[in-house]
Amino acid sequence: MKEIKIFAPATIANISCGFDVLGCCLDTIGDEMIIRKSPEKGIKITKIVGMDLPYEANNNVAGVAALALLDKLASNKELTNYQGGFEIEIYKNIKPGSGIGSSAASAAGAVFAINELLDKPFSKLELVEFARKGEELACGSPIADNVAPAIFGGFTLVRSTAPLEILQLPTLKDLYATIIHPQIEIKTADSRAVLPDKIPLKDGVKQWANVGAFVHALHTEDYELLSNSLKDYIVEPHRSKLIPEFDKIKKTALKEGALGCGISGSGPSIFTFSKGIQIAEIISDKLSLIFKNTHIESHHYVSKINTQGIKIISIQ
């Protein structure tokens, strides 16, 4: 293999009750990337389409993640005898600062593709570790709740970051996500700045009870329990103030039959979960009307949960 083209999916992180630990992978939203072998060592980003992003590998999340992988190869010569480098083309469809894993898609996509071209010397868990380096560049913290579902697919839980431990969770077959993305930017660093340093113990107890209930709901295919667990007592009360019309959107989504509604990642995108595509599409239509009455443009997506993660489009 000399070249690979991939689909790098968008993701939802936090999922209401699971701040920095829960995430899931989407199926109809994502970037495309082409990565090819090069006789020149190192990482070179040769094309970026769709967004204005840095070409310097050290300043680009895909480049930083890929360099972390190459550093590991250099420290362990037994993994591969490949002596060259890689060129990366990025075709961005996920807007940076959207809250649906734009940086994670680039970082995860780069290391996944390079690993494929090298005949998979690294495990999925190791790829998440490399991709976290890109996330650290993007938001100042090596979070894994977006890159983990992008690489593993479906729902994931980050049980530990030191050492890194990712749990892959079941996916409900009739579960659909509706994403509403108002075209404003909220930087992850800014959205983290509004969070309190301390929380009341009673709120913590309710929050981790919901995480446990959410995980149990996935394992038992209990949609009602999943709905009841999609409540955020810690983050949403603070971050929702940064998102126009959030309260109205949530109220409307729940009225139309959504299982739950919350902030995707650090925002401004808002997600809802529904049982069945019909309800998901009705919710998308209803919520789009809310932003039509404002001066804010919005994009809307309906997606099944992607259980595969990053997908190979073609190999040469």
Give mean pLDDT, residues 220-234.
97
Which residue has 């038992």 as its token pair?
Answer: 220
Pair 277, 302: CB distance under 8 Å: yes
Give phi and psi for 2, each to the nearest 5: -115, -25
The verdict on 142 and 252 lying in the same domain is: no
The residue among 95, 28, 98 whose CA lies nearest residue 277 is 28
Sheet of 175-182, strands arranged across: 260-263, 270-275, 175-182, 298-304
Check whether residue 113 and residue 254 sit in a common domain: no
Residues 240 and 152 in one domain: no
- Rounded to whole angstroms, how far apart are CA atoms 263 and 7? 24
Per-residue model confidence (pLDDT) at position 66: 98
Same domain, 162 and 284: no
Residues 86 and 212 in one domain: no
Do 118 and 197 lie in one domain? The reply is no
Number of structural domains the chain divides into: 2
The average confidence (pLDDT) of the chain is: 95
pLDDT at residue 97 greater than cutoff 80: yes
Check which CATH number belongs to the domain holding 73 and give it: 3.30.230.10
Note the pLDDT tens digit of each residue in 43-84. 999 999 999 999 999 999 999 999 999 999 999 988 888 989
126-182, pLDDT tens digit by residue?
999 999 999 999 888 899 999 999 999 999 999 999 999 999 999 999 999 999 999
Residues 71 and 96 in one domain: yes
Q: 110-126: per-residue pLDDT in tens?
A: 999 999 999 999 999 99
Distance CA 19, CA 5 (A): 32
State whether 57 and 109 are in the same domain.
Answer: yes
Q: For residue 102, what pLDDT is reported?
A: 95
Tell me, yes or no, whether 94 and 135 share the same domain.
yes
Structural domain of residue 260, as residue ranges? 175-304
Does one domain contain both 104 and 202? Answer: no
Which residues are the active-site residues?
Answer: 135, 188
Q: Please give the C-alpha separations between residue 222 and each of 92, 135, 250, in angstroms, as whole numbers.
A: 36, 33, 22
Query: At 224, is the pLDDT very low, low, confident or very high (cuts 50, 70, 90)?
Result: very high
Mean pLDDT value across residues 231-236: 96
The enclosing domain of 185 has a CATH number of 3.30.70.890
- In angstroms, the Cα distances linking 159 to 18, 21, 148 are 11, 7, 11
